């Protein structure tokens, strides 16, 4: 047999390797921005066209490159940042692999212009798919400009794999924000298709966060600082009352590098324990500084994961630091007279849902029973203490009032004599307590979670949350496609703040949203004004619904118009559906059941979970005879 193994030509090897470094336009943005930072730039400009498909250009005023370096920078494993393996353990730069420029040049048209300080002229190099097309002397400013055009021009499969412009742009903005947040001492600007998206002058950390996320962010931030031998922690957490209901803004930086770290995220969440409303997530911008020797940033090709030597200690320190800040924030009202008075109620208490007054019933009370010592009912509920004695009374009641057999025997829960006591409450809408079930209603709520209803063959048990999701989902789908929704006009339009990224998403789905009943406008930069909302959403929940929607859209990244409509409907159904734990009155239960069975697909929730089960009389019989 003849030899069959060959070495791949460089350009092929580069293209393969590029797959790891350059996954999408945002990866190019990250690499170029990081190179500019490593070159000690004080001002960095990012220009993007068509979400990076046509152009990604980074212009910096950093130290520039000599002609030889400029040429070498495109070679694989060519780096000025480390020279030996030991250097890997003392990294002070973003880059170190020497792969980025080689990879980018393998899959795009690259135009580099660079001039180091002290030289009169600079160097311009053009490369297409790893092949140098031209190299010339050029007149240019000190620093470096790298323009990456027609990304993936030679890998159609990759190009086709890219998501919609808005999704790719969102990823680019994410990378830009991460870098900008970590380097407040550098001026950053970003333009998309000639429109300015960000203009962030050199500043401090707090103002940088505000610059990136909008002026209203300032009042939401609480500083965190802690300096120990293992780690220095600084940054900000977002006050619990401003926590996002879904995904928060969660930023960890280690030695000025953005990282994702589920374990440390957990430590921050643990510090927030009990302070956040249901389902809300803590938001934070935390900057950790550790000795580079104690971390390994080499475990992930795109370098957002970091391994710490002493993860556990950092976890504990971080949680303590965040707790401390939260504590200080809670003490603050006493000292600060300018605070809004609404903030003085402890958070968890303030957000407690209001409970309908409870009526406690003495089950053993029988006005006709003159012999029983309990007949002197004083109005003090004591049924808890007396849950077993006097149980025969239940049967008395049953004999007298519930002679009919079969399913209605559930009504042994009903205390017929006592019922008249509650008629009034019932008519006021408190009639959803199991003990005061009206005898005519044929649906019951169990544990504020299930709706039970007798049917011919036995009984039906409906999951109220899932059922309502199904109903709303089909309603929204219909409204979005038929454009026949009902809008509820707001007397005072709501003004909501969103980040640039979020506004982009909202713009993209504006039409569909309007079909569900939203009426929106963009009166000024960074603000969304809502003057109409879908009928059925309480005004106070509009921001939650939109936040949930944004988070769903960001995570699921729909591509086609169809799945986007679907996602929109699902998301709104999810956030607007009644939840487990909510009490439903007779009428609501009845409506829900009727609407569910009028659905095209009543059996499943939009998330493919069962909406109801049935229990036949046979099954019940079997259970009793088992
Ligand atoms: P790495 O950043 O891992 O060293 P890159 O391929 O990103 O690898 O860059 C290769 C080299 O090119 C860098 O080490 C640096 O010397 C030089 N370089 C890249 N971008 C710039 C820039 N904007 N300014 C100055 N030098 C640069
Ligand atoms: Mg680099």
User: In CATH, what number is assigned to the domain containing residue 582?
Assistant: 3.30.1370.100
Q: Is the pLDDT of residue 4 over 60?
A: yes
Nearest to 108 by CA among 62, 71, 57, 59: 57
Q: Is residue 466 situated within a structural domain?
A: yes
Give the domain-ending residue among 328, 359, 388: 328
Q: Going by CA atoms, what residue is nearest to atom 14 of ligand 1?
A: 79
Q: Is the pLDDT of residue 115 over 90?
A: yes
Please name the helix (run of DSSP H) or strand (run of DSSP E) that holds residue 625, with its range, or none: helix 617-625
Angstrom distance (rounded) from CA 394 to CA 581? 28
Compute the distance from residue 62 Cα to the ligand 2 centre, in Å: 14
Q: Is the pLDDT of residue 338 over 70?
A: no
Compute the distance from residue 286 Cα to the ligand 1 centre, in Å: 27
Residue 220 dihedral angles phi and psi, to the nearest 5°: -90, -15
- pLDDT-wise least confident of 145-159, 176-190, 296-310, 396-410: 396-410
| Averaged pLDDT, 157-173 | 88
The per-residue pLDDT of the chain, averaged, comes to: 79
Q: Is the pLDDT of residue 416 over 70?
A: no
| 192, 500 Cβ separation under 8 angstroms | no
Domain count, the chain: 3
* Residue 14 pLDDT grade (very low, low, confident, very high; cuts 50, 70, 90): confident
Q: How far is CA 15 from the centre of its chain?
A: 34
Task: Kindly list the distances between the CA atom of residue 457 and the CA atoms of 407, 616, 617, in Å, as whole numbers in the listed order.
Answer: 10, 5, 6
Nearest to 105 by CA among 2, 21, 207, 213: 21
User: Who contacts 241 (Cβ-Cβ below 8 Å, separation ≥6)?
Assistant: 343, 347
| 472, 510 Cβ separation under 8 angstroms | no
Give the domain-ending residue among 269, 294, 328: 328
User: 252 and 121, same structural domain?
Assistant: no
Predicted confidence at residue 302, as pLDDT, reads: 66
**Is the minimum distance from the CB of 221 to ligand 1 under 6 angstroms?**
no
Return the top range by mean pLDDT from 225-234, 299-308, 371-380, 548-557. Answer: 225-234
Compute the distance from residue 95 Cα to the ligand 2 centre, in Å: 4
CATH value at residue 33? 3.30.565.10
Atom number, ligand 1, closest to the C-alpha of residue 143: 24
**Is the minimum distance from the CB of 80 to ligand 1 under 6 angstroms?**
yes
User: 191 and 244, same structural domain?
Assistant: no
Predicted confidence at residue 372, as pLDDT, reads: 42
Q: What share of the chain is helix, strand, coil (3-state, %, to 5)?
A: 40, 20, 35
Substitution candidate for ligand 1 out of 95, 103, 108, 297 with most atoms within 8 A of CB: 95
Q: Is residue 338 situated within a structural domain?
A: no
Q: Is the pLDDT of residue 426 over 60?
A: no
| 517, 535 Cβ separation under 8 angstroms | yes
Substitution candidate for ligand 1 out of 79, 125, 142, 146 with most atoms within 8 A of CB: 79
- pLDDT-wise least confident of 85-94, 248-257, 430-439: 430-439
Predicted confidence at residue 430, as pLDDT, reads: 32
pTM beyond 0.95: the answer is: no
Atom number, ligand 1, closest to the C-alpha of residue 58: 23
Angstrom distance (rounded) from CA 243 to CA 275? 10
User: 469 and 451, same structural domain?
Assistant: yes
Q: Is residue 312 situated within a structural domain?
A: yes
Residue 267 dihedral angles phi and psi, to the nearest 5°: -65, -40
Compute the distance from residue 34 Cα to the ligand 2 centre, in Å: 6
* Residue 490 pLDDT grade (very low, low, confident, very high; cuts 50, 70, 90): confident
Q: Is residue 391 situated within a structural domain?
A: no
User: 188 and 43, same structural domain?
Assistant: yes
Q: Is residue 377 situated within a structural domain?
A: no
User: 225 and 161, same structural domain?
Assistant: no
Q: Is the pLDDT of residue 281 over 80?
A: yes
Predicted confidence at residue 186, as pLDDT, reads: 98
| Averaged pLDDT, 545-569 | 72
How many Cα atoms are found within 13 Å in the side-chain-facing hemisphere of 599? 26
Query: pLDDT of 191-233, one tens digit each?
Result: 999 889 999 999 999 999 999 998 888 989 999 999 999 999 9
Compute the distance from residue 64 Cα to the ligand 1 centre, in Å: 9
Predicted confidence at residue 356, as pLDDT, reads: 54
**Is the minimum distance from the CB of 35 to ligand 1 under 6 angstroms?**
yes
| Averaged pLDDT, 22-34 | 94
Compute the distance from residue 252 Cα to the ligand 1 centre, in Å: 25
**Is the minimum distance from the CB of 96 to ligand 1 under 6 angstroms?**
yes
Substitution candidate for ligand 1 out of 27, 38, 74 with most atoms within 8 A of CB: 38
User: 217 and 136, same structural domain?
Assistant: no
Angstrom distance (rounded) from CA 292 to CA 458? 68
User: 502 and 517, same structural domain?
Assistant: yes
User: 107 and 16, same structural domain?
Assistant: yes
Compute the distance from residue 35 Cα to the ligand 1 centre, in Å: 5
| Averaged pLDDT, 598-605 | 88
Compute the distance from residue 9 Cα to the ligand 1 centre, in Å: 23
| Averaged pLDDT, 132-143 | 95
**Is the minimum distance from the CB of 101 to ligand 1 under 6 angstroms?**
yes
Query: pLDDT of 440-452, one tens digit each?
Result: 458 899 999 999 9
Q: Is the pLDDT of residue 428 over 60?
A: no
Q: Is residue 416 situated within a structural domain?
A: no
| Averaged pLDDT, 240-252 | 81
- DSSP assignment of 285-308 equals EEEEE--GGGEE--SSTT----EE
CATH value at residue 232? 3.30.230.10
Angstrom distance (rounded) from CA 259 to CA 180? 14
Q: Is residue 421 situated within a structural domain?
A: no
User: Who contacts 65 (Cβ-Cβ below 8 Å, separation ≥6)?
Assistant: 73, 114, 116, 123, 144
* Residue 188 pLDDT grade (very low, low, confident, very high; cuts 50, 70, 90): very high
Closest ligand to the CA of 81: 1
User: 245 and 168, same structural domain?
Assistant: no
**Is the minimum distance from the CB of 78 to ligand 1 under 6 angstroms?**
yes
User: 113 and 23, same structural domain?
Assistant: yes
Predicted confidence at residue 396, as pLDDT, reads: 40
User: 225 and 80, same structural domain?
Assistant: no
Three-class SS of residue 193? coil
The residue among 246 and 79 whose pLDDT is bigger is 79
The residue among 576 and 556 whose pLDDT is bigger is 576
Angstrom distance (rounded) from CA 480 to CA 515? 5
Predicted confidence at residue 232, as pLDDT, reads: 96
Q: Is residue 54 situated within a structural domain?
A: yes
Closest ligand to the CA of 82: 1
Q: Going by CA atoms, what residue is nearest to atom 19 of ligand 1?
A: 35
Give the domain-ending residue among 170, 200, 230: 200
User: 304 and 179, same structural domain?
Assistant: no
Q: How far is CA 120 from the centre of its chain?
A: 50
| Averaged pLDDT, 360-376 | 49
Residue 110 belongs to domain spanning: 10-200
Compute the distance from residue 98 Cα to the ligand 2 centre, in Å: 6
Nearest to 35 by CA among 49, 15, 14, 56: 56
Closest ligand to the CA of 146: 1
Q: Going by CA atoms, what residue is nearest to atom 7 of ligand 1?
A: 100
What are the residue ranges of helices labelled H in 91-155? Answer: 100-106
Predicted confidence at residue 464, as pLDDT, reads: 94
Predicted confidence at residue 301, as pLDDT, reads: 58
Q: Going by CA atoms, what residue is nearest to atom 17 of ligand 1?
A: 73
* Residue 502 pLDDT grade (very low, low, confident, very high; cuts 50, 70, 90): confident
Compute the distance from residue 380 Cα to the ligand 1 centre, in Å: 80
**379 Ramachandran zone, left/alpha/beta (phi>0; psi -120 to 50):** left
- Taking each helix axis as running N to C, give the angle between helix 500-508 and helix 542-556, from 0 to 180 degrees, rounded to the nearest 10: 90
Three-class SS of residue 57? strand
Return the top range by mean pLDDT from 107-121, 155-169, 217-231. Answer: 107-121
Predicted confidence at residue 391, as pLDDT, reads: 41
| Averaged pLDDT, 155-168 | 87
């Amino acid at each position: 047999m003849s030899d069959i193994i060959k070495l791949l030509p460089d350009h092929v090897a580069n293209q393969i390797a590029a797959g790891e470094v350059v996954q999408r336009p945002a990866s190019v943005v990250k690499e170029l921005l990081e190179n500019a930072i490593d070159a000690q730039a004080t001002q960095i400009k990012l220009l993007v066209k068509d979400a990076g498909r046509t152009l990604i250009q980074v212009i910096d005023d950093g130290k520039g490159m000599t002609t030889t370096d400029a040429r070498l920078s495109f070679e694989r494993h060519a780096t000025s940042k480390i020279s030996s393996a030991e250097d890997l353990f003392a990294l002070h730069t973003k880059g170190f692999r020497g792969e980025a420029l080689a990879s980018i040049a393998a899959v795009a048209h690259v135009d580099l212009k660079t001039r180091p300080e002290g030289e009169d002229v600079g160097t311009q190099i053009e490369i297409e798919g790893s092949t140098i097309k031209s190299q010339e002397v050029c007149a240019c400013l000190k620093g470096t400009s790298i323009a990456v055009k027609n990304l993936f021009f030679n890998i159609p499969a990759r190009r086709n794999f890219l998501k919609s412009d808005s999704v790719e742009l969102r990823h680019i903005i994410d990378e830009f924000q991460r870098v900008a947040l970590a380097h407040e001492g550098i001026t950053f600007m970003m333009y998309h298709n000639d429109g300015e998206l960000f203009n962030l002058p050199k500043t401090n950390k707090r103002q940088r966060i505000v610059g990136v996320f909008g002026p209203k962010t300032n009042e939401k931030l609480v500083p965190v600082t802690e300096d120990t031998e293992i780690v220095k922690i600084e940054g900000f957490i977002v006050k619990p009352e401003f926590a996002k209901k879904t995904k928060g803004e969660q930023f960890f930086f280690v030695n000025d590098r953005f990282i994702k770290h589920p374990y440390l995220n957990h430590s921050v969440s643990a510090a927030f324990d009990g302070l956040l409303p249901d389902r809300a997530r803590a938001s934070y911008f935390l900057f950790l500084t550790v000795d580079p020797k104690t971390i390994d940033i080499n475990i992930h090709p795109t370098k957002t994961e970091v391994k710490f030597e002493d993860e556990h200690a950092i976890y504990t320190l971080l949680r303590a630091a965040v707790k401390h800040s939260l504590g200080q924030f809670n003490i603050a009202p006493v000292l600060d007279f300018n605070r809004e008075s609404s903030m003085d109620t402890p958070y968890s208490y303030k957000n407690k849902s209001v409970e309908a007054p409870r009526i406690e019933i003495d089950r053993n009370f029988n006005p006709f029973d003159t012999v029983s010592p309990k007949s002197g009912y004083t109005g003090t509920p004591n049924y808890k203490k007396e849950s077993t004695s006097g149980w025969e009374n239940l049967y008395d009641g049953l004999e007298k009032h519930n002679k009919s057999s079969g399913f209605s025997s559930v009504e042994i829960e009903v205390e017929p004599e006592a019922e008249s006591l509650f008629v009034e409450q019932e008519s006021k809408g408190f009639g959803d307590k199991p003990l005061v079930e009206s005898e005519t209603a044929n649906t019951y709520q169990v544990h504020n979670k299930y709706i039970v209803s007798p049917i011919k063959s036995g009984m039906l048990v409906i999951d109220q949350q899932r059922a309502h999701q199904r109903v709303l989902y089909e309603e929204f789908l219909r409204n979005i496609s038929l454009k026949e929704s009902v809008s509820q006009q707001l007397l005072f339009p709501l003004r909501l703040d969103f980040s640039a990224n979020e506004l982009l998403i909202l713009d993209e789905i504006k039409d569909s949203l309007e079909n569900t009943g939203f009426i929106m406008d963009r009166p000024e930069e960074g603000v969304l004004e809502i003057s109409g909302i879908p009928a059925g959403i309480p005004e106070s929940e509009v921001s939650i619904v939109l936040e949930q929607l944004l988070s769903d859209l960001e995570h699921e990244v729909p591509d086609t118009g169809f799945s986007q409509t679907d996602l929109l409907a699902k998301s709104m159904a999810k956030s607007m559906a009644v939840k487990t734990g909510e009490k439903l009155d007779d009428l609501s239960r009845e409506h829900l059941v009727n609407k569910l069975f009028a659905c095209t697909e009543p059996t499943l929730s939009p998330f493919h979970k069962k909406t109801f089960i049935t229990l036949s009389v046979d099954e019940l019989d079997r259970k009793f005879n088992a």
